[in-house]
């Protein structure tokens, strides 16, 4: 009986039908092809990793090695000798330290056997290619860390994201609960307007909002980045409403019969069953705040000490534009936490996106 009464809103999502089509053969072909695409797709990350540990003099060398190498050298009798790849008369190539450069004849020392002494080699040493060795500059990370004031950026981002998340999740739960479980007057219209706010270009409301924030002294504080999130937003409400609809209503009714009010029912009966949804929505806001750029920039221009990571990273880029290794280290610092969090929580997270898209 109850199920029929709730007909209007309860469209429980059918569990995903097992993926259609095709026999299992050719699996490795498809997998290999997909893997290749994935490799190309993620190649920029490889570029970032490699570049972030390159040394300064190697970075701008046109045609320089892809890997974070440095010119190899070795110490011989208190002197640093550069190592070159030297073709020997017998056709082999040896990596030798240049001891005495000369136009026709140069002398080299074999680093693996310095006791053998100088080796004479005929030919122009300038035509030899210098040998490189792998030499990642991990200190680029500490430099980027210090130059960006990373701990401060991290603190700001976490504070803005953390407080905002509490507000966004709490308010969205209430609104979604109201829309999913009650016959709210104008419920339909509310849903329509909710969709409309997604479509609205955000600049339309920005000018007056900014002007008001200037007047009340909120510019230069975190408040404009936090307070508006305490009023629920369309994406979260849709997602949570979708989850609410999957929870059988009989549970609420049982709680009501036991004398629990709507708030009590929400907190002690429904919420414990949707931890996954709460995690998903929290993550959405966390990523939003970590990524948010435009508003933190306009509201915190004058307060670098309060800026979150995206704004800080951009400022860092304008200052150290000429040092791609530092820029890439900084990018790495900015993305490592979201990426690690994602890898741990990806199942819940992707499920959340699944649901948010289903009712469209």
Partner 1 sequence: MAVTTEEGVAGKPVTPFTPDYKPPSSSLARRRGRAGLWFVMPWIVGFFLWYAIPMVASLWFSFTDFNLVNSQPTQFIGLDNWQKLFSDPMVRQSTLVTLKFGMIALPVAIIFPMALAYLLVNKSLRARETFRALFFMPSIIPFVAAVLIFGGIMNGQIGWVNRMLAVIGITGPNWFQDQTWVYPSLVFIGLWGVGNAMIIFIASMNSVPSSLYDAARIDGASEWRMFRHVTLPVISPIIFYNLIIALIGIFNYFLVPFVLNNGSGDPGGATLFYALYFFRVGFRLFDMGYAATLAWALFLVAVGITGLLFWSAKYWVHYEFER
Please, which of residues 171-230 interact with partner 1 by CB under 8 A?
Answer: 171, 174-175, 177-179, 181-188, 190, 193-194, 197-211, 214, 228, 230
- Count how many Cα atoms sit within 13 Å of the Cα of residue 36 in the half-sphere of its side chain: 6
Cβ 107 to partner 1 shortest distance, Å? 35
Identity of the residue, 76 or 287, whose beta carbon is nearer to partner 1 in the bound complex: 287
Q: Which of residues 67-96 bind partner 1 (CB under 8 A)?
A: none
Do 312 and 297 meet the contact criterion of CB atoms below 8 Å apart? no
Stretch that binds partner 1, among 20-28, 82-90, 115-123, 129-137 (CB under 8 A): 20-28
Rg (CA), the chain: 31
Separation of alpha carbons 156 and 337, rounded Å:
14
For 117: left if phi > 0, alpha if psi spans -120 to 50, otherwise beta; the answer is left
In the list 114, 298, 304, 348, the residue contacting partner 1 (rule: CB under 8 A) is 298
Asked if 51 touches partner 1 (CB under 8 A), the answer is yes
Tell me the site size for partner 1, rule CB under 8 A. Answer: 113
Q: Which of residues 326-355 bind partner 1 (CB under 8 A)?
A: 327-328, 330-332, 334-335, 338-339, 342-343, 346, 350, 353-354
| String marking each residue 259-288 x if it binds partner 1 according to CB under 8 A | ---x------------------------x-
Separation of alpha carbons 172 and 165, rounded Å:
10
Identity of the residue, 78 or 201, whose beta carbon is nearer to partner 1 in the bound complex: 201
Query: CA dist 8 to 3, 37, 92, Å?
Result: 10, 44, 82
Which residue is it, tokens 């060398």?
61
Identity of the residue, 119 or 341, whose beta carbon is nearer to partner 1 in the bound complex: 341
In the list 10, 48, 82, 85, the residue contacting partner 1 (rule: CB under 8 A) is 48
Q: Nearest 5 degrees, angle CA 346-CA 352-CA 358? A: 135
Stretch that binds partner 1, among 75-83, 93-101, 146-154, 306-314 (CB under 8 A): 306-314
Identity of the residue, 102 or 338, whose beta carbon is nearer to partner 1 in the bound complex: 338
> What ranges in 97-149 are assigned the alpha helix state H?
139-148
- Per DSSP, what are the bridge partners of residue 121? 106
CB contact set of 265 (below 8 Å; sequence gap of 6+): 252, 255, 256
Residue 268 DSSP symbol: I
Stretch that binds partner 1, among 106-114, 136-144, 169-177, 267-275 (CB under 8 A): 169-177
Do 212 and 228 meet the contact criterion of CB atoms below 8 Å apart? no
Q: Nearest 5 degrees, angle CA 208-CA 209-CA 213? A: 115
Stretch that binds partner 1, among 77-85, 90-98, 129-137, 320-328 (CB under 8 A): 320-328
Identity of the residue, 199 or 257, whose beta carbon is nearer to partner 1 in the bound complex: 199
């Amino acid at each position: 009986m109850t199920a029929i009464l709730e007909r209007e809103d309860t469209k429980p999502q059918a569990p995903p039908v097992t993926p259609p089509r095709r026999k299992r053969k050719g699996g490795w072909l498809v997998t290999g092809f997909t893997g290749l695409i994935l490799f190309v797709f993620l190649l920029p990350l490889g570029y970032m990793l490699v570049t972030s540990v390159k040394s300064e003099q190697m970075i701008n060398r046109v045609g320089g090695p892809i890997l974070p190498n440095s010119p190899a050298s070795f110490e011989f009798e208190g002197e640093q000798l550069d190592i070159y790849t030297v073709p020997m008369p017998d056709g082999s190539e040896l990596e030798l330290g240049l001891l005495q450069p000369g136009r026709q004849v140069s002398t080299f020392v074999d680093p693996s056997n310095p006791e053998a002494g100088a080796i004479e080699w005929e030919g122009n040493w300038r035509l030899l290619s210098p040998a490189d060795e792998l030499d990642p500059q991990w200190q680029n990370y500490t430099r980027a860390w210090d130059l960006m004031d990373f701990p401060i950026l991290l603190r700001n981002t976490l504070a803005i994201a953390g407080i905002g998340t509490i507000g966004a999740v709490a308010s969205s739960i209430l609104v979604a609960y109201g829309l999913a479980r009650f016959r709210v007057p104008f419920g339909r219209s509310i849903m329509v307007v909710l969709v409309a706010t997604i479509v609205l270009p955000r600049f339309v409301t920005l000018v007056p909002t900014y002007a008001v924030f200037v007047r009340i002294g909120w510019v230069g504080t975190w408040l404009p980045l936090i307070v508006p999130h305490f009023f629920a937003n369309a994406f979260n409400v849709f997602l949570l409403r979708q989850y609410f609809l999957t929870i059988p209503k009989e549970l609420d009714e049982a709680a009501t019969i036991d004398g629990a009010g709507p708030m009590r029912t929400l907190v002690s009966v429904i919420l414990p069953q949707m931890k996954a949804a709460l995690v998903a929505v929290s993550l959405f806001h966390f990523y939003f705040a970590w990524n948010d750029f435009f508003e933190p920039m306009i509201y915190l221009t004058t307060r670098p000490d309060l800026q979150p990571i995206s704004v800080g990273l951009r400022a860092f880029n304008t200052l150290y534009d000429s040092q791609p290794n530092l820029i890439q280290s900084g990018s790495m610092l900015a993305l490592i936490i979201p990426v690690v969090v994602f890898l741990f929580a990806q199942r819940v997270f992707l499920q959340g996106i699944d649901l948010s898209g289903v009712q469209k």
